[in-house]
Amino acid sequence: MSPRKLVIAIDGPAASGKSTTARLVAEALGYVHIDTGAMYRAVTLKVLRAGIRPSDGERIERLLATTHVALRREGKATRVVLDGEDVNAEIRSPEVTRAVSMVSRHKIVREAMVREQRRMGSEGGIVLEGRDIGTVVFPDADLKFFMIAGIEARARRRREELEARGISPDMDGLIEEIRERDSQDSTREESPLRKAEDAIEVDTSDLTIEEQVRVVVEKVRGVAEGTGA
Ligand code: CDP
């Protein structure tokens, strides 16, 4: 009997290692990877391009009516497509990063994104990462992980990521930005960032990428094969 195709939820705060882990776990299992943060970032990019303030829910609601965010697979990578345009690089800009938590607070934005995420995950065989996957998007997910890491480790990873793209941020600024975004994401009214009661917590501060991927893949294989590891 071939193993069941599961829904895997990976949540956690900014730069906790979710994206890399989710991508590699999906690859190892032959599952689809959905980076839900990239979807919120794409909406934010459109809001900023339209000159709309991230706090202006009414104008954002009107904008959403003509907005289409999709994730397209290209080989092993997933590209983010906004109204037909590949915006993979633009959504990682510091401007989008600064505004994304404010845009993501709006109920209307969350409803539109969650609808699409549930549609994409309806057949299983999927790893979704974000802030509210195990609590709101797929509360019945087969396996839930909550990734955490110390602030220094997270800032260091974010700096390496930015440096690889030719940007040299200072550590204090990064720590401040990560703290600010975590605070906004955890205290908002709609779907705040929090660990689901049945999520497995993984502290990635001192783990290599290979180690954190192994932790997740082993648990998933155990459940998929029915051993309940
Ligand atoms: O920078 P990092 O990769 O940690 O964040 P991200 O996963 O790209 O998410 C960017 C932002 O989108 C978060 O700070 C949240 O404000 C928002 N988000 C959300 O509200 N719900 C999700 N399921 C995913 C992201």
Q: Which of 35, 43, 95, 104 to mutate to test the pocket of ligand 1 (most atoms within 8 A of CB)?
A: 104
Question: Buried b vs exposed e over 140-164: b needs ≥16 C-beta within 10 Å?
Answer: ebebbbbbbbebebbbbbbbeebee
- pLDDT given for residue 78 in this prediction: 85
- Is 100 near ligand 1, meaning CB less than 6 Å away? yes
In the chain, the DSSP E strands lie at 7-11, 32-35, 69-74, 77-82, 85-86, 126-130, 143-148, 200-203
**Which residue owns the Cα nearest ligand 1 atom 1?**
14
> Which residues, 6 or more positions from 134, have their beta carbon under 8 angstroms from its beta carbon?
9, 11, 141, 144, 145, 146, 195, 196, 198, 199
Q: Tell me the C-alpha to C-alpha distance, in Å, between residue 95 and each of 55, 77, 88, 139.
A: 15, 24, 14, 32
- pTM, to two decimals: 0.93
Going from the Cα of 140 to the center of ligand 1, the distance in angstroms, rounded, reads 21
Please give the number of the atom of ligand 1 that sits closest to the Cα of 158: 1
- pLDDT given for residue 151 in this prediction: 94
**Which residue owns the Cα nearest ligand 1 atom 25?**
37
Per-residue pLDDT reduced to its tens digit, 65-80 = 999 999 998 877 789 9
pLDDT below 70 — which residues of the chain? 1-3, 227-229
- pLDDT given for residue 2 in this prediction: 62
- pLDDT given for residue 97 in this prediction: 93
**Which residue owns the Cα nearest ligand 1 atom 23?**
130
Going from the Cα of 105 to the center of ligand 1, the distance in angstroms, rounded, reads 11
**Which residue owns the Cα nearest ligand 1 atom 20?**
104
Give the CATH number of domain 7-220; options: 3.40.50.150, 3.40.50.300, 3.40.50.1820, 1.10.10.10: 3.40.50.300
